[in-house]
Structure 1
Amino acid sequence: MIAARRIEHAVASALYETASQHLELGSVLPGDRATWEAAGRARQRATLETVVEQIRYDHSTERAVMRLSSSQEVQVGIRKSSFDRKRLSFPGESGAPQLPRISRIMALAIRFEKLLRDGVVSNYVGLAGHAGVSTVRISQIMKLRSLAPSIQERVLFLAGDSSLSEAGLREIAEEIDWRRQEQMFDQLRTRCVQA
């Protein structure tokens, strides 16, 4: 399965590459890619819907064919995975070590809560659509927001390759007493260090 966001990004990239050859595209797309990226997702999707009539994807070749509203077809590559086995580097990215997975998930939970609070999405279904995951996964991620604030902070700033499990943290989040959560977290950290 490919997340809708990945498809939309690949489609937008292909449209910008071919915009100079198609007057229709040049008149609909914002002048530069930065303006496109700054536009909200709903506006991007609405723009794509006015230009793209149909997308056919072939999983075996990882290629899609877009039929534009002008009946012209454009091919685009859309990878199933955002990365190969080797780590990708991006312009401006330092050689700093990557944050532990659990730290990134904690940050994602905080980001999701902000999207809900700001009204960007109205519920977990909207979050799931925005993130390209299931509502069950959203619930799992959001469960981390039930952790004591001090635990959330410690998780965000973990150093190196942490062996803390998301499932272990969700179990701690079931406890409503933050002092008890702190004790459980310390026990979990001790078990992880000893393992």
Structure 2
Amino acid sequence: MMQVKRTVQIDVGTRGRRRRSEREQAAVPSGRIPRVSRLMALAIKFDGLITTGIITDRSELARLAHVTQPRMTQIMNLLHLAPDIQEQLLFLPRVTNGRDPITEKMLRPVAAEVSWFEQRKKWTAMKITSQTAHRR
């Protein structure tokens, strides 16, 4: 009987950071993703975890995320926004310096509005206000 030896190669990478080529560096956008965009994405993810039954309720979710229950409610209230506003939040431009022009706290009165039509009016007004204030 003949034995066959097999060789397996595994690429484990390098231990340290390697330098990126100029082309790779140019592909990385500058600035950071706005906090409210990350919170909107988290709210969507958390809602999916609850819907699928992986997490039983918001209390468990708050405990796992190491935040208070009221804070978890504030984050999850972003789901009350009209779908088009949620989409705009997810794709806000990156912040290159200074503070975020739109915060979760600014969105609370918009999310509290039941009518999507009224939400859109408040959202538009808030965007205009934040853009003019951010330029100063």
TM-score (norm 2): 0.72
Alignment deviations for residues 23-67 of structure 1 (CA, whole Å, 9 cap, x no partner): xxxxxxxxxxxxxxxxxxxxxxxxxxxxxxxxxxxxxxxxxxxxx
Q: 2:37 aligns with which of 81, 84, 103?
A: 103
Matches within 5 A, 1:111-122: 111-122=45-56
Equivalent position SS for 1:104: helix
In structure 2, give the amino acid aligned to 1:191: T
In structure 2, give the amino acid aligned to 1:119: G
Shift of 1:170: 1.4
Q: 1:164 aligns with which of 102, 109, 112?
A: 102
Distance 1:179 1:128 in 2: 31
Q: In the comparison of the two structures, how many residue pairs are matched?
A: 105
Q: Does 1:146 align with 2:84?
A: no
Give the RMSD, CA atoms, in angstroms: 2.0
Shift of 1:98: 2.2
Q: Does 1:174 align with 2:112?
A: yes
Shift of 1:169: 0.8
Distance 1:132 1:160 in 2: 26
Q: Between Structure 1 and Structure 2, which shows a larger proportion of strand residues?
A: 1
Q: Which runs of 5+ in 1 are unaligned?
A: 1-88
In structure 1, give the amino acid aligned to 2:64: H
In structure 2, give the amino acid aligned to 1:139: T
Equivalent position SS for 1:164: coil
Distance 2:93 2:59 in 1: 33
TM-score (norm 1): 0.51
Q: Which is greater in Rg?
A: 2
Equivalent position SS for 1:119: coil
In structure 2, give the amino acid aligned to 1:188: M
Shift of 1:120: 1.1
Where does residue 61 of structure 2 map in the other structure?
A: 127
Between the two proteins, what is the percent identity of the paired residues? 37
Distance 2:87 2:78 in 1: 11
| Structure with higher RCO (Cα < 8 A, 6+ apart) | 2
In structure 1, give the amino acid aligned to 2:75: I
